[in-house]
Every structure is written in C-alpha cells, then in structure tokens.
Amino acid sequence: MTIDATTISGNVSDDEGGGIHNQSSGSLLITRSTITGNNSDNFVGGGIANRGALDVVSSTIANNIGDDDDSIHNDGTMTLTATIVWNARGIECDFDSTSPIGSGGYNVIGSVDGCQLVP
C-alpha cells in the first residue's frame, strides 16, 4: 500500500497505532506526507505502529501521543529517508526486536529508544 501527499491527523485508537497500524503481513510506503496529532490511547505508536515492512520518504511524523510518547513504534522492518520524526520519544522498538532501522539519510529524529539506526 502507498500513502502519498496525505495528512493523517486527529485520530484516536483504542489499540496500537493512533494514525496507522501496519500489521505483520503489511507492506507500507509513505511519501511526502504528514502524520501528526494522533493518539493511541495508552497503547504504543501514537502516529504509527509498525509490525510489517515500512518505508517512509520525505515525510513528517510528529506530535503524536502513544503510551511511551512515541510517534513510531517499530517491531518490523523500517527505512527512513529525508524524514522528520519528533516527539518526546521519536521512535521506540520492542525490547526483543532485532530488526535495525535503515536510514536512507537526511533524517531528523528526536530520539531512538531500544532501536538500532543503521545507514
């Protein structure tokens, strides 16, 4: 699935992923989009909960509210390129996650908790 030039804002979920929940079988490409102001109501991934394959290019993911103040919760594979991720905790990974986050470069990330960011 591809999300292009879209704003996802003001959503509330009573489960993971206030804005987007990418399931373990999912493959998602987000380009030129903004994900902001979403709330996962005491669950992880205020903006995005990723358990599948996620690529984010030239996008902003900020000011989302998750259980740990994370904009993105990753327990899958993820690559970020030219993307801003900002929150108290920008990106959080499951403690048992062994999947590093790929960086295509030119990212601004508030913080990374429990994840490994690799070029």
Sequence spans of domains, the chain: 2-114
> Per-residue pLDDT for the chain (119 aa), expressed as one digit of tens each?
999 999 999 999 999 999 999 999 999 999 999 999 999 988 889 999 999 999 999 999 999 988 877 889 999 999 999 999 987 667 888 765 667 788 998 898 887 887 877 88
**What does the alpha-carbon distance between residue 25 and residue 41 come to, in Å, rounded to a whole number?**
24
The partner residues of 117 in beta bridges, in order of sequence, read 101
**What does the alpha-carbon distance between residue 18 and residue 9 come to, in Å, rounded to a whole number?**
9
